[in-house]
C-alpha cells in the first residue's frame, strides 16, 4: 500500500459512521426540512424554465441565500436597447442610447433671424435667376436643418458639384451643393434647349469644362444674392473660392462640427433641381447675437425718440464754470506756514487773459472787464483740446 492510498474500512468503522449520521439527523430535523424545501423550490423553478419556441434565451439565477432572480438579455435585446440594430434602413431615425447621443450632438439653438435671411434669399434668387436664364424660375425653401458636417458630406447624392466660398468679413467658409438635375437643367436652359423636354443626362462621365463654367456663373449669381440677403443684418461679401466634384476635397470643417443646411428647390417649368447651402456654426459665430433676435433691430439700431429726449435734457443741464486768473505752485512747507493775514502775489494784471474751465478741462479764454456792478469776461478764443 502506497502512502497516498486510503486504508480499507472495516465493517465496524462503517457501522459507527452510519450511527453518527443517524444521530445528526435526529438532532437537526429543521435543517433537513429546510434543505428539502429548498431542493423542492429549485425543482419547481427548473421545471418552469422550459425553452420556448421564440428563440429567446432566458436564465433564472438564484443564489443559496434566497435573493431574487435576475434576467439576462440576449444579443438582439441589447442591440435594440443601445439603438445599434442593423435591421433599419439607411437614414432611419435610431432609438435608444444611440438616439440620445445623436440628439445631444446635433441639437443646437434656433436662429430666428437666419430664417428671415433665407426668406429674403428666396425672393431675390427668383428675380435674379429669371434674369440669368431668361426663363420662368420659381425658387422655394424646402427646409432648414442642423446636422454634423461629416453626416452631410456622406449624404450628398453623387454626381454633384460643390462650390466652396469664403465670407470675407467673417473669415470663414461655406459650401454650396448643386445636384445633377439642376446642373443639366441650367446647361440645357442656357444653351437654348427646347421647353417641354427633360434635360438629357449622360451618366458615368465627368462634367465638361462648358458645364462647369455655366454652373459657376450661376453660383456667382447665388452668392451675390446671399450677400444682399445678409446686408441689412450685417454687411458681408461671399467670394467664390473653388468648384469640386468630390466631397472629400470640399472639406471646410471638422466632421463632428455643427452646420446649418438650407435646402432650396429651383423649378424652371418642367426642369429644375435642388441647391443646398451649408454654413457651419463657426462661420456664423461673428453674427450669432444678431441671428438670435426675433425681429430686425431688436438689439441694435438707432432709437430716434430716445436720441431726441437725451438731447433736450442735455441742453437743459446746468454746469459750473470757473474763471482762472492765475496759477501758482508752492512747496508744501510754505502752504503749511501760512497764517491769517498772509498775502499771495499773482502775476496777473487787469489786461491779462482769463481761462474758463469746466472742472479740469479748459474751455475758453478771454479778457476780464465789468458790466454794471458785476465782473464779466469777454470770450474771444475757444481752446482746442488735444486728443490722446
CATH number, domain of 117, equals: 3.40.1550.10
Grid coordinates representing 218 are 450661376
Give the integer Cα–Cα distance in Å for 30 and 17. Answer: 22
- Per-residue pLDDT for 46 more than 80? no
pLDDT: which is higher, 80 or 381: 381
191 and 249 assigned to the same domain = yes
Q: Where are the beta strands (DSSP E) in the chain?
A: 60-61, 70-71, 138-148, 160-167, 172-179, 238-244, 258-268, 271-280, 322-324, 353-358, 361-371, 374-382
127 and 183 assigned to the same domain = yes
* For residues 57-72, average pLDDT: 50
Integer CA distances (angstroms), 361 to 323, 348, 357, 376, 377, in order: 12, 21, 5, 20, 18
- Per-residue pLDDT for 125 more than 80? yes
Q: Which domain holds residue 365?
A: 318-382
123 and 255 assigned to the same domain = yes
Q: Is 84 part of a structural domain of the chain? A: no
Q: Is 134 part of a structural domain of the chain? A: yes
Q: What is the pLDDT of residue 302?
A: 60
CATH of the domain at 331: 2.30.330.10
201 and 248 assigned to the same domain = yes
Q: Is 73 part of a structural domain of the chain? A: no
Q: What is the pLDDT of residue 357?
A: 87
285 and 325 assigned to the same domain = no
User: Closest Cα partner for 321 from 372, 376, 270, 269?
Assistant: 376
239 and 323 assigned to the same domain = no
Domain count, the chain: 2
Give the integer Cα–Cα distance in Å for 44 and 60. Answer: 12
User: Closest Cα partner for 200 from 129, 133, 138, 271?
Assistant: 271
Three-state SS sequence of 57-103: CCCEECCCCCCCCEECCCHHHHHHHHCCCCCCCCCCCCCCHHHHHHH
Sorted by sequence, the CB contacts under 8 Å of residue 375 that are 6+ apart come out as 368, 369
174 and 262 assigned to the same domain = yes
Least confident residue range of 52-61, 202-211, 214-223, 261-270:
52-61
Q: Is 18 part of a structural domain of the chain? A: no
pLDDT: which is higher, 27 or 230: 230
130 and 165 assigned to the same domain = yes
- Per-residue pLDDT for 62 more than 50? no
Whether the CA torsion 288, 293, 294, 298 is positive or negative: it is negative
243 and 122 assigned to the same domain = yes
Q: Strand, coil or helix: what is 336? A: helix
131 and 233 assigned to the same domain = yes
Do the Cβ atoms of 166 and 241 come closer than 8 Å? yes
Q: Is 99 part of a structural domain of the chain? A: no
240 and 355 assigned to the same domain = no
Give the integer Cα–Cα distance in Å for 48 and 93. Answer: 39
For the whole prediction, is pTM greater than 0.85? no
Q: Is 282 part of a structural domain of the chain? A: yes
Q: Is 313 part of a structural domain of the chain? A: no
Q: What is the mean pLDDT of the chain?
A: 76
Reported as a pLDDT band with limits 50, 70 and 90, residue 109 is low
- Per-residue pLDDT for 245 more than 80? yes
Q: What is the pLDDT of residue 355?
A: 87
Q: What is the pLDDT of residue 47?
A: 55
Which one of 256, 291, 326 terminates a domain?
A: 291
pLDDT tens-digit map of 323-338:
888 888 888 988 888 8
Q: What is the pLDDT of residue 105?
A: 44
Note if the bond before 209 is cis, omega within 30 degrees. no
Q: Is 338 part of a structural domain of the chain? A: yes
191 and 273 assigned to the same domain = yes
Q: What is the pLDDT of residue 61?
A: 44
- Per-residue pLDDT for 115 more than 70? yes
Which one of 251, 273, 291 terminates a domain?
A: 291
Give the integer Cα–Cα distance in Å for 362 and 324. Answer: 10
Amino acid at each position: 500500500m502506497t502512502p497516498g492510498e486510503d486504508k480499507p474500512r472495516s465493517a465496524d468503522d462503517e457501522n459507527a459512521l452510519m450511527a453518527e449520521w443517524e444521530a445528526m439527523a435526529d438532532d437537526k430535523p429543521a435543517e433537513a426540512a429546510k434543505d428539502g424545501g429548498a431542493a423542492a423550490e429549485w425543482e419547481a423553478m427548473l421545471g418552469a424554465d422550459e425553452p420556448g419556441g421564440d428563440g429567446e434565451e432566458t436564465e433564472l439565477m438564484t443564489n443559496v441565500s434566497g435573493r431574487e432572480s435576475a434576467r439576462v438579455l440576449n444579443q438582439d435585446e441589447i442591440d435594440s436597447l443601445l439603438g445599434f440594430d442593423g435591421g433599419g434602413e439607411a437614414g432611419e431615425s435610431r432609438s435608444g442610447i444611440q438616439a440620445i447621443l445623436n440628439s445631444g450632438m446635433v441639437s443646437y439653438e434656433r436662429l430666428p433671424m437666419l430664417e428671415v435671411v433665407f426668406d429674403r434669399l428666396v425672393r431675390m434668387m427668383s428675380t435674379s435667376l429669371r434674369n440669368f436664364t431668361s426663363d420662368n424660375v420659381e425658387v422655394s425653401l424646402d427646409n432648414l436643418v442642423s446636422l454634423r458636417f461629416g453626416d452631410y458630406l456622406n449624404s450628398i447624392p453623387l454626381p454633384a458639384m460643390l462650390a466652396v466660398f469664403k465670407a470675407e468679413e467673417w473669415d470663414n467658409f461655406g459650401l454650396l451643393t448643386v445636384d445633377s438635375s439642376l446642373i443639366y437643367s441650367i446647361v440645357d436652359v442656357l444653351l437654348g434647349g427646347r421647353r417641354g423636354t427633360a434635360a438629357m443626362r449622360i451618366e458615368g462621365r465627368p462634367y465638361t469644362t462648358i458645364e462647369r463654367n455655366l454652373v459657376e456663373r450661376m453660383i456667382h449669381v447665388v452668392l451675390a444674392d446671399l450677400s444682399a440677403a445678409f446686408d441689412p443684418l450685417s454687411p458681408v461679401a461671399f467670394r467664390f473660392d473653388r468648384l469640386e466634384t468630390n466631397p472629400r476635397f470640399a472639406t471646410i470643417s471638422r466632421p463632428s462640427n455643427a452646420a446649418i443646411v438650407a435646402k432650396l428647390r429651383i423649378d424652371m417649368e418642367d426642369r429644375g433641381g435642388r441647391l443646398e447651402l451649408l454654413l457651419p456654426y463657426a462661420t456664423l459665430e461673428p453674427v450669432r447675437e444678431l441671428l438670435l433676435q426675433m425681429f430686425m433691430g431688436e438689439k441694435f439700431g438707432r432709437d430716434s425718440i430716445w436720441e431726441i429726449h437725451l438731447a433736450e435734457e442735455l441742453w437743459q443741464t446746468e454746469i459750473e464754470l470757473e474763471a482762472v486768473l492765475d496759477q501758482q505752485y508752492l512747496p508744501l512747507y510754505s502752504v503749511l506756514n501760512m497764517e491769517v493775514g498772509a498775502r499771495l502775489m499773482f502775476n496777473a494784471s487787469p489786461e491779462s487773459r482769463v481761462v474758463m474751465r469746466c472742472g479740469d478741462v479748459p474751455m475758453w479764454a478771454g479778457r476780464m472787464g465789468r458790466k454794471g456792478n458785476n465782473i464779466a469776461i469777454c470770450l474771444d478764443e475757444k481752446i482746442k483740446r488735444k486728443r490722446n
